[in-house]
Each structure stands twice: as C-alpha cells, then as structure tokens.
C-alpha cells in the first residue's frame, strides 16, 4: 500500500477518514494542494499508484467518501444524496487547505460528487481546478438524454440507446436485496481484480484494493439508489466557472463519449482529452492519468504547461469536434490526399502536424487548417531518410506531445518496365513508399506504446497492392509491402489498443500521376500526359479518400479499399486470383 497518513474530518454529520500522502511535515507548504476522490466500489487506495507521482509536485490528499473505506457508513439511502456528499467534500477542502484553492482529481462517483461540488455556490473560492475521469455531471447527463429523446432522429436515438445499454447495470443496482446479495457473494478482491483485467486489461498487480472492498461494493450501491432516478428525471443543470478537464475514455465500459457533448454549455472553462483507454484509468494507466492531471494543474497554476500545445488543443470553446484534444501527424501533407486528410482532421478539432519534403506546400496546408480554429505546424521532412525521420518524431513529441493519429501518406509512383527501371529509381521508390511508412509507424508507434493510452496509425497503400500489373510491378511491390506490414503491425499493437489501417485507393487524381516516371517508355512525357489525363477524367478526388481515412479511424478498420475499382480488385484477387493475373497483362497506357 502507498504511504498514506490518516486524520479525521467531520462532514455533514459523519466522520470522514482523510489521508495525506507522504510523511507529515515533509511537504513544502507553498506547493499546490491536490485532493483525490474515489468512486464505486473503491476507497482512497484507488490512488495508490497515482499519488506518488503527483506528490513529486504537489501536496496530495485523499479521503474515503461516506459509506466507503474507513469513513462512517450511514444506513439510510437519503444520506447519500449528492448535495450531502458535496457538503462532505467542502469540509475536506477546508481541512486540507483552509486558506487556498485546491485542485480536485476525481474518478467515477468521486467525479460525479465533484461535479455537484463545483456547481455549488462557493466552489470558486475553494477549488482551483477539477480533473474529471469517468464520472459525468448527472444533471448534464439528464439534460443530454432528454434532449436526444425530444428530437428522435436516428443519430440521437442511437446515441441514447448506446448509453442505456452501457448503463443497464444501474437498473440491477437499484434492487436492494438481489444486488446486495450478489456482491456479498461475489465481491472478493480476486474476482474484482479478474473482472478489471478481463474488461480493460488492468494489470493484476495494479488492482490492489483496501480491506473493505466487499462492504464498499454493497454499501456503495446506495449512491445509485439515492441519485440516479431523480437526477435523470428532473435534471437541474447549473454552471461552473472552475476550470475543468474532462478525461474521456473511448473504451469506457459504462459511459459513452457522446454524453459529454453538452458539457461546454455549463462549464465556462472546459478542456477535454480523449483516448482509447478504459473506465478504471487510475488502476490501468496510472502514469498517463498522473501526467495528464499534472499538465492540467500546471497550466492552471502558471498559465501554461511544460507541453503547452497538449492542453491548448484540448480547450473547448463551443460544440466540440470528436477529435478535440488529439494530435494528428500527416506526412506528404503539402498536397493531394495528405492535404485533404489534414483538412478533414482539423475540421474535427485535431491539432495537426504537417510534414512534407516541400515545406512551403506544408505551410500552405497549415494556414488553411489554422483557419478552421486548430493548431497547425509545418515541418520539412524527407521520409526516405531514416535518421531524419527519427529526429522528426522526437521533435514532435517534445514540441507537441505524443501523437494520437499518424497518417503515413508520403509516396511516389514509378511505372513502366521493372527491367528497364534504374537502380536509383528502384531504391528511391522503396525508400519512400515502404521504408518511410515503416519508419513512421515504428517511431510514433513506440511513443504510443510507451504512453499507454492507445492511438491509430494509418498507412497509405494502394489498390496496386493486390492488383498485379505488368506496368506497375515495382510500385505494386512497394505498396504490397505496406499492406502486409500494416496487417502485421495491427496484430502486434492490438494489445496496446493502437489501431493500424491500410488505405488502398484506386484511381485517384493527385499530383503524383503528373510526376510519375515511366521506366522504358519511348516518349515518357507523352505517356505521362495520357495517364494523367485518364486520371483527371476519372475525377475521384483526394477529399473522398480523406473521408474514408476518417471513417477508418472511427471504426478501426484494418484494410480499406477506397474506390469502386479498388473494392472490385480486392475481391477478385482474394477469390479469383487467376482473373487478376490475366488482367495484369494489359498495358497501362493503352
């Protein structure tokens, strides 16, 4: 167990067990104060792995909320109403920091209680900031649900039903005798540890609970019975001026990200960070949570953080795009698919880092992205230079944070006879198209794994990867390598909740066709013009590929053939490979 030191605080008619982290008297008095608040079915031991990291910078306290751990356990359900719990929290705040403002980091029902507290009169005088993890404001949630059902469009109904399904367990928790008996029977440390490991991969050694877990499970059900039905049926949303960071977990078993859509209408100073993490973040990803909370607290205390862009991009000023707070890196972003993908991700609120061998072109893309209200930075990058790529990835991490989305788009084309191509042409093709993708995936993939909060890597392959052609043999080989590498990397990174997608466009008109070299062509310029003209008439534009890239990220797709001919070719190669081989004999420029 962590180095906690107990003292008592009198709440609203109950004795609360409060704890300071570390040896009393050793903390520097002028350090900011942080209060950690647990949820169901936890106690202050939820924070055993987070508190030591926060204690490097702050004076850290926690307490067992009423009914949990070492605190008093009132019998009546009404004693667990949120207004009473907010009174308890104010009492603890006065005890740990009577003359200043305290930063709150809260999880699950602790976060629900903290929302009640920050929307109560007097919060501005006692609370410096609130980091909310996996616990909504129930009044906001009730308002959101009623709004969705009042306008029963397919999208609204779908979001509401998704949340109802995720929260179905709360109906069971409302049945006193049955649910109490269930947790009396199955509420052991080992069973709960295995449950957390099963649903979100929580390391078993991280799930260390206090000795009162079984009793906390049963008694804590009163939180649901005292608050859920009343708050959802008669919501009373109130505003707050306290700076709030919502940590949204895409793989939260209980809460869907959509329920946070309207928080900005009541929280005047709101930030949001979203990642492919699960509900019990303090157990499963304590390092990520500690770093996120520290960065936010630092930004509130000092007006900026050591990684200013990370928090700046998470600031919510209106209806939030689904990628607000995320960082996307796109190579080959100066034109074509890369540029349109940057625009699409910026529209959804992502900060974009744009790399291209043509820096001026990347800057032009960045200017357009900034016009969409997001942070955008351009860098010069030759993806074929492995050492330069590694330095670029380090610079991105140092200046912007760890990328959430990486789009390895940079590429070139080489057509014509494989036998006629020069060694220089072949080496350059594979260095850019395949080695560049491998470098980007490896460099940023390592950072994502180390952070432990998931992510997504998109690699641009091509329909040529599964459509053999006598005139595209070398290009097809480079893109087939991208496809198989992406499939394999997807398997490797799945346990880290990092998705990998191979995008396989067919005939898309970009400037690549106008710059394609045709090995062995008698009149290369004429051949290039003819092929480019055909692509132009096809008129499948890069923005349509970008839309498929965004959809692939949303749905974590493995392989995405984009154009109709790509989808057709993908199926032909899988089921009728002999037909692909016959088609491969046709000349590209005929």
DSSP letters along 331-353, please? ESTTSHHHHHHHHHHHHTT-EEE
Q: Which of 530, 565, 569, 520 is nearest to 415 (CA)?
A: 520
CA-to-CA dists, residue 545 to 36, 244, 542, 548, angstroms: 45, 36, 5, 5
Phi, psi (deg, nearest 5) at residue 518:
-120, 100
Q: What DSSP state is assigned to residue 148?
A: H
- 3 state DSSP class of 504: strand
Strands (E), 234-314: 244-251, 270-278
- Considering 475, 535, 570, 573, which one is annotated as catalytic? 475
Q: Are 397 and 444 in contact (CB under 8 A)?
A: no
Peptide bond into 503 cis (omega under 30): no
Active site residue 475: yes
Q: Which of 175, 505, 104 is nearest to 340 (CA)?
A: 505
- CA pair distance 149, 232, nearest whole angstrom: 13
Contacts of 385 (CB under 8 A, 6+ apart): none
Q: Which structure tokens are listed for 145? A: 């649900």
- CA pair distance 546, 544, nearest whole angstrom: 5
Q: Which of 274, 228, 409 is nearest to 333 (CA)?
A: 409
Strand partners, 106: 37, 132
Phi, psi (deg, nearest 5) at residue 382:
-100, 105
Torsion sign over Cα 297, 299, 302, 306: positive
CB atoms within 10 A of CB 529: 13
Q: Which of 405, 308, 392, 295 is nearest to 350 (CA)?
A: 405
| Residues with a known catalytic role | 475
């Amino acid at each position: 167990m962590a180095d906690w030191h107990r003292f008592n605080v009198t709440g609203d008619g109950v004795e609360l067990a409060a704890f300071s982290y570390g040896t009393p008297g050793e903390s520097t008095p002028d350090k900011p104060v942080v209060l950690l608040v647990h949820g169901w079915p936890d106690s202050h031991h939820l924070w055993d792995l987070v508190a030591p990291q926060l204690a490097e910078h702050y004076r850290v306290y926690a307490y067992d909320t009423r009914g949990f751990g070492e605190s008093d356990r009132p019998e009546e359900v009404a004693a667990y109403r949120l207004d009473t719990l907010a009174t308890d929290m104010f009492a603890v705040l006065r005890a740990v920091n009577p003359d200043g403002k305290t930063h709150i980091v809260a999880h699950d029902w602790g976060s629900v209680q903290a929302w009640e507290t920050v929307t109560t009169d007097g919060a501005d005088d006692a609370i410096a900031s609130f980091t909310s993890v996996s616990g909504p404001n129930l009044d906001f949630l009730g308002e959101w649900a009623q709004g969705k059902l009042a306008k029963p469009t397919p999208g609204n109904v779908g979001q509401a039903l998704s949340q109802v399904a995720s929260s179905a367990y709360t109906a069971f928790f409302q049945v006193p005798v049955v649910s109490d008996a269930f947790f009396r029977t199955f509420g052991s440390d080992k069973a709960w540890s295995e449950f957390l490991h099963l649903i979100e991969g929580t390391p078993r050694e991280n799930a260390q609970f206090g000795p009162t877990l079984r009793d906390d499970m049963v008694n804590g059900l009163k939180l649901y019975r005292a608050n859920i039905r009343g708050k959802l049926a008669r919501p009373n949303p109130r505003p707050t001026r306290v700076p709030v960071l919502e940590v949204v977990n895409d793989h939260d078993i209980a809460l869907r990200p959509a329920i946070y859509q309207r928080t900005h209408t009541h929280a005047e100073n709101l930030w949001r960070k979203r990642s492919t993490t699960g509900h019990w973040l303090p157990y499963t990803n304590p390092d990520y949570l500690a770093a996120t909370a520290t960065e936010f607290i630092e930004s509130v205390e000092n007006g900026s953080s050591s990684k200013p862009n990370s928090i700046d991009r998470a600031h919510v000023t209106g209806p939030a795009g689904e990628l607000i707070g995320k960082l996307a890196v796109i190579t080959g972003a100066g034109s074509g698919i890369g540029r349109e993908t940057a625009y699409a991700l910026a529209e959804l609120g992502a900060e974009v880092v744009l790399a291209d061998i043509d820096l001026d072109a990347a800057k032009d893309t960045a200017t357009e992205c900034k016009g969409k209200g997001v942070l955008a930075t351009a860098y010069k990058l030759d993806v074929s230079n492995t050492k330069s790529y590694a330095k670029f990835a380090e610079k991105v991490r140092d200046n912007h944070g760890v990328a959430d989305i990486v789009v390895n788009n940079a590429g070139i084309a080489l057509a014509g006879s494989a036998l006629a191509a020069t060694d220089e042409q072949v080496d350059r093709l594979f260095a850019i198209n395949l080695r560049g993708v491998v470098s980007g995936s490896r460099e940023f993939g390592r950072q994502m794994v180390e952070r432990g909060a998931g992510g997504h890597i998109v690699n641009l392959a091509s329909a040529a990867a599964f459509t053999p052609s006598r005139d595209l043999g070398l290009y097809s080989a480079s893109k087939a390598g991208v496809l198989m590498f992406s499939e394999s990397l997807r398997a490797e990174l799945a346990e880290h909740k990092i998705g990998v997608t191979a995008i396989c466009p067919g005939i898309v008109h970009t400037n690549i066709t106008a710059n394609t070299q045709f090995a062995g062509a008698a009149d290369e310029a004429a051949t290039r013009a003819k092929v480019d003209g055909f692509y132009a008439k096809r008129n499948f534009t890069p923005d349509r590929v970008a839309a498929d890239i965004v959809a692939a990220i949303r749905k974590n797709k493995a392989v995405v053939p984009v154009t109709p001919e790509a989808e057709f070719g993908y199926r032909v190669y899988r089921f009728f490979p002999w037909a692909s081989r016959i088609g491969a004999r046709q000349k590209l420029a005929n």
